[in-house]
Amino acid sequence: MSVLDSLSALLTHLSDLLRPLFGGSATAAAVVAMTLAVRLLLHPLARAAARGERARAALAPQLAKIHDRHRGDPQRIQRATAALYAESGSSPLAGCLPTLLQLPVFLVLYQLFTRDGSELLDHTLLGAPLGDGFAAALADGGLLGPAGLVHLALFAVLAAVGTWSFLQARRRARLTGTQPQGVLRLLPLLSYGTMVTAAVVPLAAGLYLATSTAWTTAERALLL
């Protein structure tokens, strides 16, 4: 049995279990439940990443000194920064590991809801087909049609999560007197970026993105 077939069977089983509670939207609920299960499995890595981020925050004064000492010499700044991270045992990219490990799951889910003949393509969320993207929703009833409204609600959730994430990052920077370094500067903006992705992928994949992004934001609020 292929990975796609295995995931399809898992979603079908979860959908059958959830149908008494969610009716015709049971498959959408199964996608959310699967996403939560994946994030729960990755939680130990997120805790380790949070410890690393706190360690990197403690290095902020030394990083500032490096930038002042080698101002105008990017190569020396890069070497000195890498040496400092190596000495402390931390990495500026460690916080991205949980996100990167989710990518295969997301890609398989995307393929599952776009491949021809998949029985899951007929499943819906409040009338919006899980295999359709935003463009299809607009073509089928317009922006205020049933499918369009479901996609608008999804975008609203992502926008709210993005705003919450941005405010959290600004609050942490104010409390610690430090600013995120490197790729960490982009983390609060990922929720806004996922709105673009959610607009072009199937609704099921958009649900995965919204659930996972909300989990990430809540997780960081608890751990940092």
Residue of 219, 156, 157 lying closest to 187 (CA atoms): 219
Distance of CA 78 to the CA centre of its chain: 29
Residue of 42, 13, 44, 47 lying closest to 30 (CA atoms): 13
- Which pLDDT belongs to residue 22? 93
- Which pLDDT belongs to residue 51? 74
CB hemisphere CA count around 95 (13 angstroms): 24
The amino acid present at 177, given as its one-letter code, is: G
Long-range contacts of 106-113 (CB under 8 A, 24+ apart): 106/205, 106/208, 106/209, 108/3, 108/4, 108/7, 109/7, 109/31, 109/204, 109/205, 109/208, 110/201, 110/202, 110/205, 111/4, 112/4, 112/7, 112/8, 112/11, 112/204, 113/202, 113/203, 113/204, 113/205
The whole-angstrom separation of Cα 14 and Cα 11 is 5
- Which pLDDT belongs to residue 41? 92
The amino acid present at 183, given as its one-letter code, is: V
- Which pLDDT belongs to residue 87? 64
pTM over 0.95: no
pLDDT, one tens digit for every residue, the chain (224 residues): 577 888 888 898 999 999 999 998 999 999 999 999 999 998 988 887 777 677 666 666 676 676 667 666 677 767 766 666 666 555 555 566 777 888 888 888 888 898 877 788 889 999 899 999 999 999 988 898 999 999 999 999 998 988 888 787 777 666 655 555 554 555 556 667 788 889 999 999 999 999 998 998 888 888 87
Q: Which residue has the tokens 């004064």?
A: 61
Distance of CA 35 to the CA centre of its chain: 10
C-beta separation of 120 from 132 below 8 A: no
